Each structure stands twice: as structure tokens, then as C-alpha cells.
Chain A
Amino acid sequence: MKLTCLSEGRGYYFPPCHIVNICGFRVLLDCPLDLSALAVFSPLPIVISSLLDEKASIHSGQSSSNSESVRQEVSELLDSKKLIQAEPWYKTVKSLQLWSIYSIDVVLISSPMGMLGLPFLTRLKDFRAKIYATEAASRLGKLMMEDLISMHMELRQFYGPEESGCPQWMTWEKLELLPRALKDIVLGSDRTELGGWMSIYSAADMKGCMEKVQFLKYAEEACYNGSLTIKALSSGLEIGACNWNILSPKGNIIYLSGSVFASATATSFDYKALEDSDVLLYSDFAACNDVDGEKNDFPPATGSSYSSNIGSCWETIPESWLDSDEYSEEMEKVSFICSCVLDTISDGGSVLIPIGRPGVMLQLLENISLSLESSNLKVPIYFVSSVAEELLAFSNIIPEWLSSQLQERFCSGQPLFTHIQLSNEKKLFVSPAIHSSKFLTSWQEPCIVFCPHWSLRLGPVFHLLQRWCADPNSLLIIEERADIKLALLPFEPMSMKVLQCSFISGIKLKKAIPLLKILQPKHVLVPESLRPHISCWNPKFSVQSFSENETVVVPKLKAFADMDIAMDVASELLIDTKMIEGKNIARLKGELLIEQGKYRCVVRNKQVLSSQVRPLLFVGRVDLDSLLMALKKMGMKVAAQSSGGSEHVSLIFISEPSEALIEVTSTQTTISVGDETTASLISEAVRSTSVCF
């Protein structure tokens, strides 16, 4: 087994990406897009305003061409005019393109985010891999891709049809002019990532991609090529998100992606199914962020009165890690958000929630509407997205994919989510676009708006931000991110309040170790930064670390593969066993099948088996004396002659019943005989006096 980590990813929105070679099959784990890189592009309104102010733009362009100023401190240079003013491209995992697409046999998708880059692969002629994803993850992934395409098309309407070939901003002259912070994103810190940028896929590409996906339920066994049995097991991160159990005849491999023990919306982390694995690929990077969390001191977001990071209360996790403390922490977080929303609303401000996690979004929608009701505030909630209606409808028909709390609610006769009731009561307005007449007529402020896109570059969010960014009463709720400054740059100066919150998206370091203790794998692959933490408590399993773009060879799991022998084959074995060198040896003859990741030896056609003659094996030496005895017993007339030379050649002459000669050395016996009856007698004598198999 070989592992190449193509990308460690970055949290929920950009899951890690690996290639694993298992039993000769090449498995790609996830195919995400780095949508946070969209931050280098300028959102449309800024482009428009800068076009109106063309002079200024030319002027600033001149100043930035000054090479000295380019090397100045980033913070000085970064202003919204420096953002790339072009139709956005999308950043894929660069290293993936170095692999031959044809050589990939299987693609496993662990979360909706993990499939956003997939159409780039599936549209290639050479793509032939089998894609596995859970039903729910692929459905959500499809909605996300549809939404992405439709938001992009809105931009294209402005920019016009795509230029053929390389866009202007990708030429080296232009790239050189970019401020360092942007250059770091576009080119990567090692300046090699330009090749990873792609222009958006078409709706047809996306459709073609979905047609190639095989949908799975949780814990459904899918068999690839007879040799790999693949199972998706709920990870709790998102509706439909999963970890993978890959069973091969050489042992089983667990792919542990970002996992959440007790999720409010999605089915919880099914860690019991991950026990007793041969290899565990630990690809949950949440703990790594814990490790270097202190180092990265992000500058506080501008104008945020709520910048007190809610996530920080997280560091005090009670010891009883398996309890639902995680759940209650998350619920606390949600109720804090709700209270902030209520405060804002009572101050007359509006709330904008561009959160892209379906699970979290549904939960917030549910809880905010409840708290509005309980505090008797009547403000409309809007959900603006091209896929809003479908997403809400979908969420209401998937009890199998939701948390036990929601399932219980369903079994007690209530709907899974209340949003149908909310829209019937005209409390929730769902609209595909911000410019639809239905939306505009129902519009009233203050209000609460859920909308895409969390990058703050695409979709309805920038129109609304543009509207509210100067309003100190309004509130923007976004997820905590390292590049918050860059993300908000086009909207500076911001007087709007910003609430940054971090929702749980993986296993914390404190829980990682007890988890591994429970799972008891034999061999664990961990990210480099996690290795010292794992090794320091002397685990019972072997630990190997991996880092980006390095290939790690996992020591052979087993020299021997598991095999089942059918009873009828086995019973024949037992008839004819021999004791050789203190070991019971028998012959095995049958047909070998591979089924469900297992080798199986069976008898289906007895004729085929009997038609083939097996060679005889003689072990050790032929004992001359007993051979002579045996021959004599058969009534033969024999005479022996031994040459005592280094060769130790012994000769046995047989004169009756017919002439024959046996030459015996330490390694070989040659019988020269010209008569069939004599020959078979001699053969029998040799067989009976030597260890023959």
C-alpha cells in the first residue's frame, strides 16, 4: 500500500485529497476545490464602480507597476483595487494533475465539498474510474455545483463570453504585479500552483459527472472488481459525509476524514464500525490546527463588536469525551448566534448569513426562527439561492441521513424541519435570485438573509453586503477564516458588525488519542504535525507520518492473503496429509475465486480438476538401503555399487524381471528402464522409501 497526500486541505470547505494504492488499485480520495482562493478576485460591484472611476484605476495601476512598491508590506498595498478584476477561475488540487487520469481506478467522495472538483476530472476523455459517494453527499454536492455554476453565469453575463486560452490575469507580467498576499494564493507559497487554476465547468460537465457516480447508503457494501469491498460510514461532519472502510484480501484500510462525534443535523460519527483495522489513514486535520492554533494569531476582523471568538470556549473539553458534550457545545454556540441575531434585529439591523454548510444552515434556520417566535419578533427570513427550494425540499425527505434527535422528532410525528410550515406561514421566503420580482415585492427590512456564497465573491451575498456594509446596526455572520481581512477587503470600510464563528469540523486533538485507543488499528498514518502527539504516548500500533506531495510506502500488511477453503476441498486435503520436517503438508487442488474482497478455493467442476496431473515432489534424499530392501521385496534381482567419490553416486543394477539401472546421487535419482512393468515397480519402491509429496 502506498499513500500520496496531494493536499492537506483546509477545514470543512477544502477537504484533504489523497491517492492511495491498494492491492494494485489506485484510489483517489476526494476531489475538492479551494474556493477560498476566490478571494483574489474582485466582486462584481467593485468592478463596476472601478470602471466608473476609470481614471483612478489607471492611476493606481501605474503606481503598482512600480516594482519597489510591489515589495512593500502587504497590509499597505492591499486594497480592493488590487484584487483581480476578471471572471473568476477555480483552484483545484495542483498535484492531482500530475497523475495520469487513466491510472485512477476508484474515486471515493467523503463529503459534498469533496466532489466540487470532480467534473474537471470526469470530463476528461481518459477518465475511467468508478466513483463512489453516499446518496446524500452526492445530492448536496450536486446542489452546490449547480449553485456555483449559476452564480458564475451571473458574473459571465457581465464579463461576456470567456476569452479563449489563458486569461489576461494569468500572464506572468500581470501576476508579477500582484501584491504578495494575492500572489501567495494564486501561485502557492512555492510558486508552483498556477497550473491548478481552471475555468468553471459547464452544467453538462457536472451532469456527466453525476451520471458516473455510484450512490451508496451508509454501511452499504460496494464491491469493486471483486477484490475491494468498500463501505461508507457516517462521519457526522455533514449530511451524507462519510469515512471509508476498504476491505481487500490483504487487510482493511480505514480512511478517517473530518469527523464529528455528535452532530446536530447529520447522522453521528459511526466510530464503532472503524474498529480493528489493519491500516488507519488519519486524515482529520482539525487536530493539526489545534497544534499550531496558538501560532496563527489572526488579526481581528474589522469593525467587529462580536469578534470574541466563540470557538475559544472550545478548548475546555470535559474528559468524558464520548458524551454529548460536543453536541451541547454546538447548541450553545447556536443559541449564542441566535441571541446576537435577536439583538441585531431589535436594534433595527438586518442579519446576513452566508454560511455554506447545509447542516449548519438548516440548524441556524430552525433555531433562529424559533427564537424569533419566542421573543415575538416578526421579521422575515429570506433564503436566496438558485437551489434553495430544492435544498429545503430535499432536507425534508431524508430522515435516514439525519441525526438521532431529528429522527426521534420525526418518529414522534413532527416534520423533520419546520421550514415548510415557516414558508406556509409567510415567515420564510425562498427565492432563487435576488432580482426576482417575487423576492423584491416581499422584501422588507430589517430581515434575516441566508444566502451563498461564503467566499463573499459570488452570488447574492455581495449585493447584500454592499447594501449593509456601512450600516453599524447590521450583522454579518461568517465562519472563522484565516483570510478574513482579504475576504472583507472589497467592502471596506466596514461599519457592519461581523460575527465570526467556528463550527466543529473535525476531531480535536484531545479526542484524537482516546479515539485511536478505542479503534485499535494495527498501523496508523498521521499528518506530520500530529505525529509527535501520537507517538508520545507509546501506542500499541505502529505510526507513520505523511506530508503533502510525498509518497509513503506502508509496510506490507500481511505476507499472506486471507483465503477461504470450501469444506469439500478441505475434506479432501485431510485424507492425504504427510508429515514432512515436522509439518503437516497436504496438497490443495481447487478453483480460486475472488468474491467480496476474499479469495476462495472451491470445487465447481470436478472434471477440470481431475484432468490435470500434478507433479510429484521428492524431499531430501533417497535412502539407498531401504530402496534396495524394497526392490528385493518385490522379487527383483539387484546389485548395488557405490562410488565413494565426492559425488556420492550410487548405482543399482537390476537384472530381473528385466534389465534396469538406478542412479542415485544426493540431489537426483535417475531410473533407466525399458519395460513398463519394471518401471512401475521401481517407481513404487522409490515412492515408498522416500519423502514424496
Chain B
Amino acid sequence: MTIDCLVLGAGQEVGKSCVVVTINGKRIMFDCGMHMGHSDHQRYPDFSLISESGDFDNALSCIIITHFHLDHIGALPYFTEVCGYNGPIYMTYPTKALAPLMLEDYRRVLVDRRGEKEQFSSENIADCMKKVTAVDLKQTMLVDRDLQIRAYYAGHVLGAAMFYAKVGDAAMVYTGDYNMTADRHLGAAQIDRLQLDLVITESTYATTIRDSKYVREREFLEAIHKCVDSGGKVLIPAFALGRAQELCMLLDDYWERMNLKVPIYFSAGLTIQANMYYKVLINWASQKVKNLSATRNAFDFKNVHSFERSMINAPGPCVLFATPGMLSGGFSLEVFKQWAPCEQNLIVLPGYCLAETVGHKLMRAKPPARIDVDKSTQIDVRCQIHQLSFSPHTDSKGIMDLIRFLSPKNVILVHGEKPKMASLKERIESDLRIPCYYPANNESQRIETTHYIKAEASKSFLQSSLSPNFKFLKTISRADTGFVLNERAESCVQVCDDRVAEGAVIMQKDQHPKIVHQNELMDILEAENHKVQVAYCCPVCVPDEPKNVALSPGEDMHPVLDKCSLLHLLYTKLSNGFQDVTILNDGDRLQIQSFTVSPCLKEKCPHRIHVNPDSTSEAVNFCCTWSMEDEKLAWRVISSMKNLELKTR
């Protein structure tokens, strides 16, 4: 049984996440992203590797999307509507609700502003979303009879999830992007301790340990506060989802605390709609936000108003969130053109900017500078620029923590830079002793998986296997052997409870193996148990005895009187010699596992084989019996008995 993991995207790079995993014959596509850095065929994963004929419905059992970011979902409408995949698609409720906004936003940037050929239309997006089944966290979905999947909170963006998939006994987790520390509006990733053959994890920050976000948040707030205090306008170009709400929450809270009256605006349209979604989906935010929501929904921003085009050149300070992000066109660029030349103003660039976009140029520029906005326009940028780079990915400590917690049999790294992945792989293999791989795009990795044999167990087998099996091992410290008197006080008992399940397996054709307790076996086989025993009547030297007996000749009493004491003498001697086993003394006999020994008073014992003809009359016989499995032990005891001298006084 194996898992085959074909990396179609985000192998040794960041962008167009797409991993196709085959578990016991079921094929799952995790994420279906687009690469923002390419505008040619490299933009999408190479779907032809899944099925050359293009019959994706039969080639894939399902698609799972972890969150609404374009590098995880961007190729989905293309794959379903253009390539023609019609099978099931799973994502969380927030992802299902928010993804169309994200896709539409980006489609417009590509088509309307960058003038590229349309890859998929608005109708495509809508049709694609109709095929999606929404799942809740921890909900166990049965894709079909054998394949079950489950989402866990990932904390990367609203609705981001890690996905668990199980087919038969093989199980794996695909993390998507995740964050192991709670942030302002989202909780930290949360997952159960699962038995996993494979974890596919992102590794954006494979080698970095991040400092607290709060420092950068404070710098951001201070920069904005300074700007509006001096009467400037702040422009924050952002996509409608995620960052906009997070920063707005931060600002709204700060405004409240500092009692600021400067208006915060959202450019109308998408963002307002997005806010509505966030309000409804508040249960997917962090616990802190949820707890507050009983009194007031944290996404119900108090100081936020919608923005009209006419207000661009209105006097007075303000803060404006405008779409699209990266200043790639549209309204945010329009505002930028108006505000950038003024020194008082501030542009905040929250996060990644694609190459070629104005945002990207701005990140490298040191104002005052001239920036080409398009072929014919140059803008004189005099305003301040603040870069804000907190991205909600886990750092290397978080990755290691998660892998240590899940302790899978194998790890595959995706969504990271090759050299950093290599060093993380080293750490995982050396620190955690888990094999780790980081295949490149279009490479495939095979992994052996667990497999269980299905069997049926009887009640008495289960009971005997689950009942405690206590052992009391005496450990006497060597140093104390001289102080015989203290022996008792010094010896301590070590208790262990090693339960071993032992039974008989009955295998028959076309049936599950049956497991029974061995006592039940004979009944099931309809056979008789044949008892096999080994016996030996062993003479033990008791040197003082004849003299003592001489006191009352003719009477046969002494052996009986001595029986107990002889046995006890033997017990003490053996206890000293055999400290690794438990010796039971019930007065009549001693027992060590199946080996029993008792004084033999019979005149003629069938087990009295006189190997040694010159055994003296000073000997007392002890009858020993044992089962074959304890052969070694038995002869060890017997040989030590032969060498013993039982002194009655």
C-alpha cells in the first residue's frame, strides 16, 4: 500500500499550489492555484500530468481547496469550466463564500487593467462555485465509501483549513497555509493527534523564526497616526478580503482607544460585501473575537464609512482602503495618482506585490521619485511609503512543532524556497527522525503506508489481553549483601505491567482471521488438549539430617514435620539465586512459572531417575515438574538445587 504524491505546483517554489495525491487508488487534488508571477502557460499547474486524455472526472476522486488565496484557488474555474472537471470539490464555508469575490477581483485586474486574454469569465466562476460542497471544521465527509476527509482550523486567513484524508488504513494531512500563533482576528491552527503516514506542509518560512507581529503593528499604527495628525491622507491599496479586514480591525480598535475622529473609508463595492461575509462568518475568527461578538460583532466597524469618488480631493485627513491591491489598476491607482505627489500623504503597502505592478515599483522607490504608471504617465511620488509585511504563515518553529505533534511517518515540503526547504528537511530528519522530501514541480514521490489486517477477536482473548499483568521484581542493591539482617528493609519491589496480547489466529479461506484465547482453541478445533509434562525427582543434599533423625529411631515422623521447613529453606536459597523470576511458595510447593517443586515423600517415585548412582542417603527428594516451554528455566533451577546444601540449622 502506497501514497503517490505528484507535485504539480508549489514544488520548491511559492505559487500555484497543487498537489495530486493517490492513496490506495483514490486520487485527491489538494489546491488548484495559479502562479501570479507568470502570464504564460506556467501560470497554471500542468493538468495533463493527471490525465492525458483530459478525462479528469475519472482521474480524480475529488478536489480539496484549503483557502481562498489565488495561489491556492486561482486555477479552479479554469480547471472546472475550461478543462471540464465535474467531480466533487470541497472547501470550507468561508472559502466557498469568499473565493468568488477574490477570483472576480483578480479576473478584473487581469482582463480590464492588464489587458490580458480572459482565462475564465464571471459566469465560469459562478458555475464553478456551484460544484463546490462546503464543509465545516472537523466534519467527517465521506467522499465515497472509502475516502473520508476532514478539515481542521489553519488560521492563515478566514476559513483556511488543513485537510485530513483517509483511505482504508492510510491517512495523511495536507496543511495548506497555516499559522501556529493566533493573530488579531484569527486563531492559531488546531489539529487532533492523528495517525498519519504523510504530512504535506507549507514551508514559506522554513528557516526563519519570526518576531512578534505587535511591533510591526505598532509601527504601522504610529505611521498612520502621525500622517493623519499632520493632516495627510493615507491610502491602503488592498484586495477586498483578508488583509483589509484585519488592518481595519486594527485601526478601528486604535481609533476607539485614541479617540480619533478622522474618517476611515472603504472604497465601495466589493469590500462592503466582503465585510458582510466576515460578519456572518465570525464563528471562524479567533476565540477572542468570537467571545466579544456576543455584545458587538468585531467586523461591525464603527468608524468606517464608504467612500465616494468625489471625496478624493476633499480637504482634510482620512484613511482609505481601496481595491485592488498592488496598485495594479482600478480605483486604488486612480487615488494613488492624486495623492502620491503630496508629501503629507502616506501609502501603506500591505504585503506582496507582483512584479510590473505600480506597487512593486513603489516598494523599491525612495521618494521623491518618478514612477511610470503606464506607458504614457509618470507620477512624481513625494508621499511617504510604509511597507507592512506580516504574512500569516507559520515560522520554522511552528512547522517543527506541528510535525512533532503529528509525528507522521513521512513529511513532504511544498510552498517554499528550495535552499530553505533543504535545510528544513535536514532538521526534520535529524531532530525528529522522520523521512522528509521536497519534490520539484511535476515530480512525484512514493511513500509506503500502514496497512492493517482485518480480523475478529473473541471476548475472552480481549479480556485476557486487557487485564493487568503485574510483575513484582525484587531489586536488592548489591552493596547491602553483607547486611543480611537488613535485607528485608533494603530490598525494594519494582512493579511493571507489561500486557502482552497472546492468542491463536485461525485463518480460513474467504473469512477474516479469527483470534481466540488459547483456552478456546480446543473447542473451536473440536480437539482434545494433550498434556505434556516433564518431571524429575531431584535429590537435594541435607547434610545434618541423619544426626537429627537419630534421636528417635524407628519413628517416621520427622520428614513430615520437616516438609514445610525444608521447602522454606529451599525457597530462601532459590530466592537468592533467582532474583529475576517470581517464586511462589504456597506451603506445599514452590512455583516458578510452570515449574513446580515439592518434597517427595514417596518410597518409589517414577520420576526418580538416579543419574548419579553415588547420591548419598543424606539427600531429600524434591519432585519437580514443568512444561516444555520452561525447559531452560527448569534445568537452571535443578542444577542449582543439586548443588545446594540445605542446612536445617
B489 at the interface (CB under 8 A from A): no
Query: How far is B458's CA from A559's CA once the two chains are assembled, in angstroms?
Result: 7
Instruction: Report the stretch among A89-97, A152-160, A486-494, A666-674 that lies at the interface.
Output: A666-674
Q: Are B138 and A608 in contact (CB under 8 A)?
A: no
Q: Decide: A674 near B538, CB < 8 A? Known: A564-B455, A589-B502.
A: yes
Query: How far is B137's CA from A167's CA once the two chains are assembled, in angstroms?
Result: 49
Residues of B within 8 A of A587 (CB): 502-505
Q: Decide: A570 near B457, CB < 8 A? Known: A660-B609, A661-B606, A671-B535.
A: no
Q: Are A560 and B456 in contact (CB under 8 A)?
A: yes
Q: Are A560 and B525 in contact (CB under 8 A)?
A: no
Q: Decide: A671 near B534, CB < 8 A? Known: A221-B140, A397-B293, A601-B501.
A: yes
Instruction: Report the stretch among A42-50, A360-368, A462-470, A676-684 that lies at the interface.
Output: A676-684
Q: Which of A377-431 contact B (CB under 8 A)?
A: 390, 393, 396-400, 407, 410-411, 413, 415-416
Name B631's contact: one of A218, A416, A680 (CB within 8 Å): A680
Some 16 contacts from A to B, beta carbons below 8 A apart, are A217-B136, A218-B136, A562-B457, A567-B450, A580-B527, A584-B506, A585-B504, A591-B500, A599-B462, A615-B594, A667-B529, A675-B609, A680-B631, A683-B628, A686-B628, A690-B532
Residues of A within 8 A of B513 (CB): 565
> Interface readout for A45-68 with B: 1 if CB under 8 Å, 0 if not?
000000000000000000000000
Instruction: Report the stretch among A190-198, A316-324, A619-627 that lies at the interface.
Output: A619-627
Q: Are B138 and A614 in contact (CB under 8 A)?
A: no
Return the 6 tightest CB-CB contacts between A and B, nearest first. A560-B456, A564-B452, A592-B501, A674-B609, A618-B530, A584-B507
Residues of B within 8 A of A601 (CB): 455, 501, 515
Query: How far is B137's CA from A398's CA once the two chains are assembled, in angstroms?
Result: 13
A435 at the interface (CB under 8 A from B): no
A291 at the interface (CB under 8 A from B): no
Query: How far is B638's CA from A218's CA once the two chains are assembled, in angstroms?
Result: 66
Q: Are A661 and B609 in contact (CB under 8 A)?
A: yes
Residues of A within 8 A of B538 (CB): 674
Query: How far is B450's CA from A140's CA once the two chains are assembled, in angstroms?
Result: 43
Closest Cβ neighbor of B290 among chain A residues:
A397
Q: Are A397 and B281 in contact (CB under 8 A)?
A: yes
Q: Enumerate chain A interface residues (CB-CB to B < 8 A).
A: 216-221, 231, 272-273, 390, 393, 396-400, 407, 410-411, 413, 415-416, 558-567, 570, 573, 577, 580-581, 583-592, 595, 599-601, 605, 608-609, 611-622, 658-661, 663, 667-676, 679-680, 683, 686-687, 690, 693
Q: Are B504 and A670 in contact (CB under 8 A)?
A: no
Residues of B within 8 A of A567 (CB): 450-453
Residues of A within 8 A of B450 (CB): 566-567
Q: Are A573 and B505 in contact (CB under 8 A)?
A: yes
Q: Are A669 and B458 in contact (CB under 8 A)?
A: no
Q: Decide: A590 near B530, CB < 8 A? Known: A397-B283, A399-B93.
A: no
Q: Which of B513-544 contact A (CB under 8 A)?
A: 513-515, 518, 521-522, 525-538
Closest Cβ neighbor of A601 among chain B residues:
B501
Q: Are A670 and B507 in contact (CB under 8 A)?
A: no
Query: How far is B506's CA from A601's CA once the two chains are assembled, in angstroms?
Result: 15
Q: Are B501 and A589 in contact (CB under 8 A)?
A: yes
Q: Are A561 and B459 in contact (CB under 8 A)?
A: yes
Query: How far is B543's CA from A370's CA once the two chains are assembled, in angstroms?
Result: 111
Query: How far is B276's CA from A600's CA once the two chains are assembled, in angstroms?
Result: 48
Q: Are A672 and B606 in contact (CB under 8 A)?
A: yes
Query: How far is B454's CA from A565's CA once the two chains are assembled, in angstroms?
Result: 6
Query: How far is B457's CA from A611's CA once the two chains are assembled, in angstroms?
Result: 24
Residues of A within 8 A of B593 (CB): 613
Q: Are A619 and B532 in contact (CB under 8 A)?
A: no
Residues of B within 8 A of A221 (CB): 138, 140
Query: How far is B457's CA from A558's CA once the two chains are assembled, in angstroms?
Result: 10
Q: Are B139 and A397 in contact (CB under 8 A)?
A: no
Query: How far is B535's CA from A660's CA once the two chains are assembled, in angstroms?
Result: 10
Shortest distance from the beta carbon of A259 to any chain B beta carbon, whole Å? 18
Query: How far is B635's CA from A671's CA once the two chains are assembled, in angstroms?
Result: 14
Shortest distance from the beta carbon of A459 to any chain B beta carbon, whole Å? 22
B499 at the interface (CB under 8 A from A): yes
Query: How far is B114's CA from A40's CA once the two chains are assembled, in angstroms?
Result: 75
Residues of B within 8 A of A686 (CB): 532, 628
Residues of B within 8 A of A620 (CB): 527-528, 530
Query: How far is B536's CA from A416's CA once the two chains are assembled, in angstroms?
Result: 87
B366 at the interface (CB under 8 A from A): no
Query: How far is B454's CA from A561's CA once the two chains are assembled, in angstroms?
Result: 11
Residues of A within 8 A of B137 (CB): 217
Query: How far is B144's CA from A272's CA once the two chains are assembled, in angstroms?
Result: 11
Residues of A within 8 A of B594 (CB): 615
Shortest distance from the beta carbon of A192 to any chain B beta carbon, whole Å? 38
Query: How far is B456's CA from A693's CA once the two chains are assembled, in angstroms?
Result: 20
Q: Are B514 and A560 in contact (CB under 8 A)?
A: yes
Closest Cβ neighbor of B535 among chain A residues:
A672
Q: Are B531 and A618 in contact (CB under 8 A)?
A: yes
Name A616's contact: one of B129, B462, B532, B611 (CB within 8 Å): B532
